[in-house]
Amino acid sequence: MIHAEGPLLSVDVGSRETTDEDVDDVLESYVGGRGVGTKLAHDRIPFDADPFGPDNSLVFAVGPLQTSMMSYTGRMSCTGLSPLTDGLLSSNAGGFVSRPFYDTGY
């Protein structure tokens, strides 16, 4: 099931460079902003990364029902390495913030 389309926008804040990456394999296997975000963070953040260092990543992902216009489907997840526990963290937000992210095409 492909629930989203478009590439992944990767932003290197230190060098201010952006790249597009194909993540169709992840979108076919994982559902939802939290699932996709966790998989991408797990694959991209090294095991011994410093949460405040350049190896850490933040993954912003929207849910699969973003364009359905149903109530309570406009959710967005942010996943990364926690400075408190050194494990993956995932935060979820609702409201109107996820639609502009989806509309960018990434």
Superfamily of segment(s) 8-103? Aldehyde ferredoxin oxidoreductase, N-terminal domain (3.60.9.10)
Tokens at 99, concatenated: 């639609």
Give the mean pLDDT of 3-20.
78
Q: Distance between CA 87 and CA 9 in Å, rounded?
A: 23
The pLDDT of residue 43 is 92
Handedness of CA 93, 106, 21, 11 (dihedral sign): negative
Contacts of residue 11, defined as CB under 8 A and 6 or more positions apart, other chains included, come to 17, 18
Number of alpha carbons in the 13 Å side-chain half-sphere of residue 22? 2
Tokens at 37, concatenated: 């975000």
Q: Pick 48 or 95 by higher pLDDT.
A: 48
pLDDT, tens digit, for every residue of 57-103?
999 888 777 777 777 777 888 999 999 998 999 998 887 777 787 77
Q: Which band of pLDDT confidence, cut at 50, 70 and 90, is reported for residue 2?
A: very low
The domain segmentation of the chain, as residue ranges, is 8-103
